[in-house]
């Protein structure tokens, strides 16, 4: 993308993930967005806006009762604390992805633990599905220009939308792993789909 912009004579400006996120936010206007969910890399004083569900690292320090305490010292449960000057609901859970405890937060103090867990679980399902789609070889597609790459991203988005619609319309308890296996079966049975997106070798 950077090379394409330079070729067109456009200025290339560096942006952090947080800058890109804040620039993207206005495009959500008009959508019925219940919550915005992101991991600890995006948690910042500028991103703790309304209806934000995020993840905190164990060494993140929150203020409770006037004391600054790392969230890693909290036992399992829910707490009303302050983080980076913003009141949040902190949820500490055990057995988090088989890696011990997890620390989720919401800027909506009325969210229940189930609300926070559901929002975070949906986000993790999407990330897991993206990884599984990439394992099919789609990320090595032969789209050689930035314009074609945007089409490739749209294809991934449509694939995710399709499987998520299937998941919620059926009401079945299908996790990301079971859905990803279903996608693999479909692509394998289709045969030539993977070949379509493989990068062509240079002669």
Q: What is the 3-state secondary structure (H, E, C) of 43-110?
A: CCCCCCCCCEEEECCCCCEEEECCEEEEHHHCCCEEEEEEECCEEEEEEEECCHHHCCCEEEEECCCC
Residues 6 or more apart whose CB falls under 8 angstroms from that of 182 comprise 163, 174
Task: Compute the average pLDDT of residues 110-117.
Answer: 89
Residue labelled with tokens 């009401």: 171
Q: Is the pLDDT of residue 47 over 70?
A: yes
Q: Who has greater pLDDT, 100 or 12?
A: 100
Domain boundaries, the chain: 33-111, 112-203
What is d(CA 193, CA 138) in angstroms, rounded to the nearest whole number?
9
Q: Which of 13-22, 46-55, 113-122, 166-175 has the highest mean pLDDT?
A: 46-55
Looking at the whole model, is its pTM more than 0.85?
Answer: no
Tokens (6 digits) for 91: 């949820």
What is d(CA 78, CA 91) in angstroms, rounded to the nearest whole number?
5
Q: pLDDT at position 106, please?
A: 94
Q: pLDDT at position 34, please?
A: 82
Tokens (6 digits) for 72: 């890693």
Mean pLDDT (the chain, rounded): 75
């Amino acid at each position: 993308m950077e090379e394409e912009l330079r070729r067109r004579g456009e200025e290339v400006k560096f942006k952090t993930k947080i800058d890109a996120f804040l620039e993207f936010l206005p495009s959500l206007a008009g959508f019925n967005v219940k919550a915005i969910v992101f991991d600890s890399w995006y948690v910042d004083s500028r991103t703790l806006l309304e209806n934000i569900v995020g993840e905190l690292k164990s060494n993140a320090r929150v203020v409770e009762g006037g004391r600054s305490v790392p969230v890693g010292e909290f036992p399992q449960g829910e707490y009303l604390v302050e983080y980076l000057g913003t009141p949040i609901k902190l949820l500490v859970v055990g057995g988090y992805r088989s890696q011990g405890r997890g620390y989720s937060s919401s800027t909506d103090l009325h969210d229940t633990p189930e609300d926070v867990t559901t929002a975070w679980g949906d986000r993790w399902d999407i990330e897991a599905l993206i990884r599984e789609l990439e394992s099919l070889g789609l990320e090595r597609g032969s789209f050689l220009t930035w314009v074609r790459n945007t089409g490739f991203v749209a294809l991934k988005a449509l694939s995710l939308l399709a499987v998520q619609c299937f998941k919620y319309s059926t009401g079945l308890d299908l996790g990301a792993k079971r859905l990803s296996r279903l996608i693999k079966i479909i692509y394998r049975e289709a045969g030539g789909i993977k070949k379509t997106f493989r990068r062509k070798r240079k002669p």
